[in-house]
Structure 1
């Protein structure tokens, strides 16, 4: 399995203000490809048909598969300053002005330039982040910032899962019962229910119209809709894809309005996951705002949504529920908005700034596919063997019966001949007397 990461480079960031005549322009950099290996650790099996575990993910950079290097310079929104401003947006003007002074004194600006490696896994130190941790207003519980900082090789980052094993009900296999000892997340109502599988194990999917996967990264579940059947590695699979409702927040599906969670609802296609990301103004969408409301793309330039490249899809062998092809795509954007108490943000237009997107890609190896094909034909093969053996048995019985009858008939004929011969031989002797 591979994780492809793309970063957005802001080419005209120095022109970003409410009086600008040009829109923010972004150029996609990457992919920066990492090989991913996942482990389930600290497993505890329970009598109720569930298992509790943690998961450890290990990523290794694959330079030969990447376009660019981890030393590439990337310019974009200052995530730390933006997060702090968003976190304290409802605090008093005095507090916001004080924090603004602290940020300016530290030499921070609204834009920052870092290497791809620093932004992805390595992280970078920031005086405002350190001061914010001490003052407890940054909301970020780390000494460095990176999109995947502290995650590589960690057993604890993703939390503790409780999952059905399928021992008591095969149709529940892989379904998450609880995450972090709860069956709810911080989202309100229906939106906060923990449901779906962990993405590794799935129940049989003979006629499911939708499938759901729970993502600890997003603190919610994503639902994909059946599209069609396809053939991969000789296996006929059912393909499920993202649609315009997957990241809706009530515009298209009223029951999903709970994703707004007492904040201003944004147009469809982008979900607010700030409650899952330490209060940061983090919003997820499909890459390049694919399937999202046009307003997101209209406020900036450089977005080129493409169904083939940016669609979220999973293909399963329906009888077994085994994934045979995965294309999981998600984009992270940060919301920046004006605040007249903070000089850094006083004259900025409200903008959803694309920061990065990633694609998790996996294909079932041909050796595994051959095994599944054999598994699928095994019942048919068993029937063929059963009826074949039964047919051979009937044939042998028939042949045996014919041979028995013929042998019996031959024996009777032989007895008649012997009897006739004896009678013939005895007759002359009788005549002599």
Structure 2
């Protein structure tokens, strides 16, 4: 009888020991997955977030005007052809001024720089483009009508016109303008500047908040004078909280357009042997307030938007230091039909002109994205400005569209695969636990029977 109790005790101890060991093997890898997605030195998320291992390129396509004389003399619609891409390596510098704060956020700035990549471009930076004159269009938009006579005098004295011919480099990064007697450029100044500072949550106290932007430039938004439009929602799109749900959209903030947007799940596919979810912007993102009432607070100019009935264009003047810049998707994708008749030669295409994110669902890391936006300016009729006397109506003119693409380097992909393999091991451990559980239950049953016999 004593021998049986001794054996039963050993069996019972072995059962509980095995259960503890198996449960430990399951729970530790699952915990590691969550730890590795926290923005904290030593984690995979931090290495992916802070360093410059991610390659980001900006590709530019310009709209070259084919009939500038006909537009000036007869008021015909501009005809454009697309020129590009002209590709630059950007965001090759790591985040700077990183500082962890007591409220579980981390602050930083994004240094900006651009290096021309000839091998990925259709020509050189010295290629010339006939495009809208930034100074003339800008001054026209900003000057009240009673000052158009003075503006006409300045235009004549500087020998300026509605269109100008400039190099790619000048249009992007700056040139000395004779009308305004200052440096103008679509992205000037750029090199040596920075975006931010940003404050984002680390996820250390709440993993669902990891990467979510708390503040930009030290404060909340105030561009749109509306609580809804001024909300900063989501991350910067480089990563999201782990464990994506296909039914829920992803929110991210873009400093290029000074607002937050959402992307919805479209499909799944394999990227370098890693399953990713593709998310894309909905057509309602830039819909007119008639079709999407949430966009009413983004409508700033009743004249250029035809009393807020125009779709596809976002007025950015309030967040671009007063510069009359209008953002859209390339070739006015999802825009009002009038945009494609006011300027001829555009061909919107969902495949080539939409924005998307490819996100690994378990970790929330973005492996690839294509952020596509178009920069436009406006000009319109004037009885006093000679170069605008033949213009019949307000025109949103496309200057350039940009495709910002991100691809992870091989080292980052390998690190992610190791993390996912660790998760796979935990899944295998769960499966083994289930199988072993039933086997151990048989052992427990035998142990119980043994104890029962001993007692009898």
- Counterpart residue number, 2:286: 247
| Secondary structure, aligned partner of 2:113 | strand
Given that residues 185 and 194 in structure 1 are in contact (C-alpha distance below 8 angstroms), is that contact kept between their aligned partners in structure 2?
no
Gaps of 5+ in 1: 131-142, 399-433
Given that residues 185 and 219 in structure 1 are in contact (C-alpha distance below 8 angstroms), is that contact kept between their aligned partners in structure 2?
no
Alpha-carbon distance in structure 2 between the residues aligned to 1:79 and 1:362: 29
Q: 1:257 aligns with which of 293, 296, 301?
A: 296
Establish whether residue 315 from structure 1 lines up as the match of residue 353 from structure 2.
Answer: no
Given that residues 332 and 355 in structure 1 are in contact (C-alpha distance below 8 angstroms), is that contact kept between their aligned partners in structure 2?
yes
1:297-326 alpha-carbon deviations (Å, 9 max, x no partner): 122211111221111111111111111220
Q: Which has the larger radius of gyration?
A: 1
| Secondary structure, aligned partner of 1:230 | strand
Establish whether residue 42 from structure 1 lines up as the match of residue 94 from structure 2.
Answer: no
Q: Which of the pair has the greater relative contact order for Cα pairs under 8 Å at 6+ separation?
A: 2
Given that residues 129 and 165 in structure 2 are in contact (C-alpha distance below 8 angstroms), is that contact kept between their aligned partners in structure 1?
yes
- Counterpart residue number, 1:129: 180
* TM-fit CA distance, 1:96: 2.8
1:269-323 alpha-carbon deviations (Å, 9 max, x no partner): 1111121223232111111111212111122211111221111111111111111
Given that residues 381 and 389 in structure 2 are in contact (C-alpha distance below 8 angstroms), is that contact kept between their aligned partners in structure 1?
yes
Alpha-carbon distance in structure 2 between the residues aligned to 1:273 and 1:386: 52
* TM-fit CA distance, 1:384: 4.0
Alpha-carbon distance in structure 2 between the residues aligned to 1:269 and 1:251: 12
Given that residues 138 and 324 in structure 2 are in contact (C-alpha distance below 8 angstroms), is that contact kept between their aligned partners in structure 1?
yes
Establish whether residue 335 from structure 1 lines up as the match of residue 390 from structure 2.
Answer: no
* TM-fit CA distance, 1:175: 1.3
Establish whether residue 357 from structure 1 lines up as the match of residue 411 from structure 2.
Answer: no
Taking a change above 3 Å as real, the CA distance of residues 118 and 266 of structure 1, as seen in their structure-2 partners, is: farther
Alpha-carbon distance in structure 1 between the residues aligned to 2:196 and 2:412: 30
Establish whether residue 99 from structure 1 lines up as the match of residue 151 from structure 2.
Answer: yes
Alpha-carbon distance in structure 2 between the residues aligned to 1:161 and 1:371: 26
Taking a change above 3 Å as real, the CA distance of residues 179 and 110 of structure 1, as seen in their structure-2 partners, is: same
Q: Given the two structures, how large is their TM-score scaled by the length of structure 1?
A: 0.81
Establish whether residue 51 from structure 1 lines up as the match of residue 94 from structure 2.
Answer: no
Establish whether residue 196 from structure 1 lines up as the match of residue 234 from structure 2.
Answer: yes
| Secondary structure, aligned partner of 2:377 | strand
Alpha-carbon distance in structure 2 between the residues aligned to 1:199 and 1:262: 29
Which moves more between the two structures, 379-388 or 190-199? 379-388
Establish whether residue 238 from structure 1 lines up as the match of residue 277 from structure 2.
Answer: yes
Q: 1:374 aligns with which of 413, 418, 421?
A: 418
- Counterpart residue number, 1:69: 124
* TM-fit CA distance, 1:383: 5.7
| Secondary structure, aligned partner of 1:125 | strand
Alpha-carbon distance in structure 2 between the residues aligned to 1:113 and 1:261: 30
Given that residues 234 and 369 in structure 1 are in contact (C-alpha distance below 8 angstroms), is that contact kept between their aligned partners in structure 2?
no
* TM-fit CA distance, 1:105: 1.1
Q: 1:164 aligns with which of 201, 206, 214?
A: 201
Aligned residues: 379
1:43-65 alpha-carbon deviations (Å, 9 max, x no partner): 22111011122111222111011
Q: Given the two structures, how large is their TM-score scaled by the length of structure 2?
A: 0.77
Taking a change above 3 Å as real, the CA distance of residues 387 and 267 of structure 1, as seen in their structure-2 partners, is: closer
* TM-fit CA distance, 1:220: 1.0
Alpha-carbon distance in structure 1 between the residues aligned to 2:301 and 2:402: 29
